[in-house]
Amino acid sequence: MVFLIKSGEALETTHHVKTILFDKTGTITKGKPVVTDIILAENMDRNFLLFLAASAEKASEHPLGEAIVKEAEIVGIDLVEPSIFESFSGLGINAILKGTEVSLGNEEFFKQLNIDISKFKLISDNLASKGKTPVYIANDRIFLGIIAIEDTIKPASALAIQKLNKLGLNVVMLTGDNKLTAQAIANQVGITNVISEVLPQEKAYYVKMLQSKEHRVAMVGNGINDALALAQADIGFVMGSGTDIAMESADIILMNDDLQLLMSTIDLSKKTIWNIKSNLYWAFAYNMLSVPIAMGVLNIFWGPLLSPLIAGVAMSFSSITVLLNSLRLKNFKVK
């Protein structure tokens, strides 16, 4: 089994979808980010910065935080547990390490903290334009540097997006990442519409906004941040590596992380709906023709009169034809 469809309604709704929203991390990308660059402020030691950042992120469950911790472990840095840890969804984290405050987050988070990053803005934008996510670091509100983190795009993502575009669907990336990073990833996979820097609670709002324009909207995600949007969408797809809450909110679960399965579910939905319609048309046309004949209409015009046995067999043939037509779906192959 490669995908799990929770209901017949979900299969039917998929056929009517006109807009598909994609989360970025773990959906278009592999969801296994790694540290690629560390940019230091003046007189800052690389290992000390990594020690502060990784220790602060040790209590975090965010993929970016986990990437920083992993990098510190690879280098062999001994970390400490933060005495206080605060996470601000879509922005960053604050932690207290040995009495000092360590802050990590995006540009908006540092603006809220009144930490000046203007001298490193050009460097940050350059990293983001390459598809990397810049994470700013400060100690007691003093800027220390940037850790750039990159998440590799899944091999099948570009091909799946290309096929969706060919179907005439409106494909949109909906992500909390910064504008330059999101646009760089979107360009690589062929997505032209990007909504970036979206807080988790705002994703459902964008789904609702598209629905208000009479769009049937599908959402594809895999994390806790996507749960509300998955529930709001007309049809929610979640990747096999998704969180429990995301899987609970979704209508269709793709049992592995290959986006080609999304195309297979759309294809199955279209073929199923076509099969249902063809069965109805056939049954209607057959009965419109056969019932009057069984009633003896032909005999009125000096034609044959069907015996009850032949009429019964003829009616059974209608049901058998519908059944055989439906069984053709057993030959459906996942692409």
Catalytic pick among 23, 151, 177, 257: 23
Looking at the chain, which runs of residues are DSSP E strands? 3-5, 19-22, 34-40, 84-88, 92-97, 100-105, 132-139, 142-150, 170-174, 193-195, 217-221, 235-239, 252-254
DSSP class of 176: S
Whether the CA torsion 304, 310, 316, 317 is positive or negative: it is negative
Helix axes 260-295, 157-166, angle to 10 degrees: 40
Cβ atoms < 10 Å from Cβ of 44: 17
Whether 251 is a known active-site residue: answer no
Asked if 207 and 219 touch (Cβ cutoff 8 Å), the reply is yes
CA angle 30, 132, 206 (to 5 degrees): 70
User: What distance in Å separates the CA atoms of residue 249 and residue 226, rounded to the nearest whole number?
Assistant: 9
Q: What is the DSSP string of 131-156?
A: TEEEEEEEETTEEEEEEEEE-PBPTT
Give the CA angle between residues 48, 33, 24 to the nearest 5°: 135
Catalytic residues: 23
